[in-house]
Amino acid sequence: MRVLPLASSSWRLRDSSGSAWLPATVPGCVHTDLLRAKAIPDPLRGTNEAGLQWIDERDWEYSAEFKIDSEMLEEEVVDLVADGLDTVATVLLNGKEVARTENMFIGYRWNVKRLLRRGRNTIRIRFDSATRYIRTHRKSHTPREINDPVGRCTVIRKEQCQFGWDWGPRYVTAGIWRDIRLEGWSGNRFAGVSVTQAHHRDGSVTLSLKHELVRPDRRARCRWRISTGKEAACSGFGSAIVIIDPKLWWPSGQGAQPLYTLEVEVVGSDGESIGRWERRIGLRTIALDRRKDKWGESFQFVVNGRPIFAKGANWIPAGTFVAGLRRRDYARDLEAAVAANMNMIRVWGGGIYESEDFYDLCDELGLLVWQDFMFACTLYPGDAAFLASSRAEADHQVRRLRHRASLALWCGNNEIWSINHHELVDPRKKAQRRHYERLFHRVLPDIVERKGGDTPYWPSSPWRGDEDATHSGGEARGDSHYWDVWHGRNPVKEYEKWNFRFASEFGMQSYSSSATQAMFTPAGDRNIFGSAMETHQKNKGGNQVILDYVSRRYRFPRDQDSLIYLSQLNQVFCIQTGVAHYRRLMPRCMGSLYWQLNDCWPVASWSSIEFTGRWRALHHAARRFFAPAVVSAHVPGDEVFGLNNYRKSTVRLVHIHTCYDRPAPAKAVVRWDLMHLDGRVLQNGRRSVVLQPMSSVRQQTLDLSGLLAKFGRERIYLRIALEIAGKTLSEDTVLFTLPRFMDFPKPRTKIVIRTKEMGRASVSFTSQVLQHMFEFDFPGRRFAASDNFFDLYPGETREVDVQFTGKVTPPGLRGSITHRSLADSY
Ligand code: BMA
C-alpha cells in the first residue's frame, strides 16, 4: 500500500460566492479557519454567537494542490480516503466530481485513479450549507424539537450539538474534520481484522482472527505477532492465537491495563503480502449481564467474570469545534476522570464518535466506554436513504472501534425512546414507531451483531427492555435517567426515592469559576442576568433553577463570587446525594454515571470539569464519593415547610453505610463523632468491620432524637470516617438541617506553605472551628491540588499537595493565596 497524505498539503478556503482565499487547516473547520485568519471575532467570547450565524448559510470551498509520482499511478487502484467530511460535501479532483456526501460520521473511500495525473493535481471539496440542506430535505419530517432552536437537525447526519444544546452554542460548521489521503494498492486490499476472544476455564485465552479483504481470497492466511512490550513476542500463522498465561485487562481500580500489540499480515493465495494491520488490544471479557433476580432483571457490566459497579460520568465533545482536538485535550479530562476514581465514561449520542486518541487513553487508563451511536433526543427520519446512510455509518464506526479493550457497550441512542415515548406508543403514529424500530432495533443491532465482535448492544439510554418508561420500571430493570431533580425542580432528597438498577444520567448545574468566565467576558460584564452570561447559560431558565436550589439550601450570597461558590457546593450536595444512594443500593444498582464530565466551551453547566480544565467543587467531591472504600450516611426523613412557612423536621436516625468495590477484602474501622459547632464532642463511637468485595453494608444506626432536641439541630453535626490500616480513606459531614439555618462560627485559618522541587508545594491549613467546604485558590496561577473543597475540622491540620505550572516561591504563594468556607459566603 502506498500512502500520500493530503492533510499536510497547503489548503485554502473561501466562501463559494467567490470571496478571497484564506489559508485553511486540515483537519479543521470553517469557523476555526475564519478565526485564525481574523475574519471573525472569537466565537467563544461574549455574545459573539448571535453575530456569527451567517456562516452556516454560506457554502464553503476547500482546495489544495498535491503532486503524484508515477509509482502511485502504477498501482491498480488509487483510493481517495476521507475519514470525515462535515457534511454536505461535493468532492472534485482536477475539476471532475468524485462524490457527494451527507454524513459526517462515515469514512469514505473512492477509487479516483482515472482522475489523477502525474505531477500537479487539484482537490476541491465544496461544503454546501447544512442549514439549507435541512430546509430542503425530508420536509415531511417535523418532529417535536428538544434541543435545536431552529429545528429539524435530525434530518442530517451531522454532530447534533452543533445545532445548539442546553450547554453548547449553535455553530453549524463545515470542513474536512478528519484525516484525508490517497492510498494506492494493487491486487487486493486488507481492510481490517475482527478479533474475538474466548477465555477458557484453565485461564488461557484464544483469539480468533477474521480478516477482511476487499477481494475475496479463500486461501489467504494470517501471519501474526503478539507482544506486550515486556515479554518476548509470540508469532505464528493462522486464524487462532492461544495465549497460555494471559495478562488480563481490567477497568481502573480493579487491576492493571496491560495492552498487547497485535500485528497481522495477510498473505494472499499467490504468497504475496496483501497488507498489515496493527492495533493494541486488551485481554478481557465484557458482558452486559441481564438476568432475572429478586428485583426484576439485573443490569451490570461483568468484566473477566467480575461484576463491576460503574462509576463515572457522561462525556460530551471536548470542544465546540471538534476537528483537530489532540491527545492532550482528551488526556486532561480523561486522566481527571481516573483521578476521581471513575471507571466508566459514557460517550453521549449528541456529539461525535471520538478520535483514536480518546479511545487510546480509555484503553490505557482503564475507563470502560459506554458508546452511544450518534442519535439524540429528537425523532429521526426513517426513509431508505437515511437508513442506508446510518447503516454505513454504523458499519464504519463499529469496525473502527471493535478491537478496543475499553469498549463495553454500543447503545442505539440517547433518550429518544424516553422523551418521545408517548408518541412512539401512540397507535395513530405507527410510522414513527416503525422508523424508530427499524433503526434502533434492526439496523444498528444487526451491524453490532455481525461486525462488532463480542460487544453488547442496548437500544437506547434509558431503556428497560420493554415499553416501560416510568421510574418504577427502572427500579426493576434497564438503565435510568433521572431529571426530576434539576429539570423537574424536585427536592434533592428525591434521589433517594428511586432504587434504580443503573443510573446513567442525573445532574445539577453550577457556574464556572470566575477564572474560567474570564475566558469569555471581562470582570465588569459578568452579571449572571446580563447578555454575556446568559449567552453562556444555554438551558432555558437555567439561572433560575440554580438560584432556586441555592436559595433552598444556603444564605443569600454576599457577592457574585460567593454565588458561584454556592452553586458549586449545591452541585456537590446533589450529585453526592445521588451517587451515595446508588452505591448504597449495590448490587441492586450497579452503575452511577452523572451528567456531565466536561464542557465544550466556558459555560454554566452540569460539568465537573470546566472548559479550562479547572475542577469544579464537584470533581474534587467525585474523587471522594467514587473512592473504592467509602463511608456514607443515609438520613431518613426531611425538613419540610408547611403552610405559612412553618418548619418541621422528621430527621432522627442516621444509618452509617460502607461501600466497597475493591477485589480483595479489607479490615477497616468506622468512626463517628457527634460534634457541637462550639467544638465539643457530644458523642462518639467506632466499630471494626471487614469490607467484602462489592459490598454495601449498613454498619451502624444512631438514634439522635435526644441529642438533636437537647442541643438543637442547628448547632450540631456528625462526622463520619472510614479508616483502613490507620489511614482515613473516606470521611463526611452530616448536617441535620439546612446549612442556611446553622450559625457556622466565623473562622480564622492558619496557613503554612512549604515549596518543594519542580513547582510543587505543600500547603497546610488549620482552623479552630469547623469550616464547611473549605476552598483555597491562587488567583492568576495554574495549579492542580490533591484536594480542595473539603471540610476542615476544628483543631486539625489538613495538608494538601499543590502542583503549579511554573516556578513558585513561598513568599509569592503566601501573597496570592485566597480561601473561604461556607461561613464566608454571606
Ligand atoms: C440529558 C442529556 C442531554 C442534556 C442533559 C441536560 O438528558 O442526554 O441531552 O444536555 O440531559 O439537560
Quick: pLDDT tens for 314-325: 999 999 999 989
Mean pLDDT of the chain: 97
Ligand 1 pocket: which of 165, 166, 486, 599 to mutate (most atoms <8 Å of CB)? 166
Closest-CA residue to 347 (of 301, 313, 393): 313
What local confidence, expressed as pLDDT, does residue 232 receive? 79
Binding pocket residue ranges, ligand 1, CB within 6 Å: 165-167, 348, 350, 376-377, 414-415, 481, 505, 595
Q: Which atom of ligand 1 is nearest to the CA of 348?
A: 8
Give the Cα separation of 795 and 673 in Å (integer).
14
Name the active-site residue from 505, 610, 723, 775. 505
Helices (H), 273-415: 327-339, 356-365, 384-401
Ligand 1 pocket: which of 160, 485, 505, 508 to mutate (most atoms <8 Å of CB)? 505
Find the 507 Cα to ligand 1 centroid distance in Å.
9
Q: Which residues are bridge partners to 779 per DSSP?
A: none
Give the Cα separation of 550 and 539 in Å (integer).
17
Q: List Cβ neighbours of 136 (8 Å cut-off, separation of 6 or more).
A: none
What local confidence, expressed as pLDDT, does residue 625 receive? 98
537 near 594, Cβ under 8 Å? Answer: no
Q: List Cβ neighbours of 135 (8 Å cut-off, separation of 6 or more).
A: none
- Mean pLDDT, residues 707-717 taken together: 97
Give the Cα separation of 487 and 508 in Å (integer).
9
pLDDT-derived band at 18 (thresholds 50, 70, 90) equals confident
Q: Which atom of ligand 1 is nearest to the CA of 486?
A: 12
pLDDT-derived band at 757 (thresholds 50, 70, 90) equals confident
315 near 349, Cβ under 8 Å? Answer: no
Give the Cα separation of 285 and 404 in Å (integer).
12
Q: Which atom of ligand 1 is nearest to the CA of 481?
A: 7
Name the active-site residue from 49, 61, 159, 415. 415
pLDDT-derived band at 231 (thresholds 50, 70, 90) equals confident
505 is catalytic: yes
**Which one-letter DSSP state was computed for residue 414?**
B
* Grid cell listed for 538: 444555554
pLDDT-derived band at 123 (thresholds 50, 70, 90) equals very high
758 near 744, Cβ under 8 Å? Answer: no
Find the 644 Cα to ligand 1 centroid distance in Å.
36
393 is catalytic: no
Residue 353, Cβ neighbours under 10 Å: how many? 23
Give the three-state DSSP class for 769: coil
Q: Which atom of ligand 1 is nearest to the CA of 415?
A: 8
What local confidence, expressed as pLDDT, does residue 230 receive? 78
- For 21-34, how does the pLDDT look when each residue is reduced to its tens digit (9 = 90+)? 999 999 999 999 99
pLDDT at 393 over 90: yes
Nearest protein Cα to ligand 1, atom 9: 377
What local confidence, expressed as pLDDT, does residue 190 receive? 97
What local confidence, expressed as pLDDT, does residue 73 receive? 97
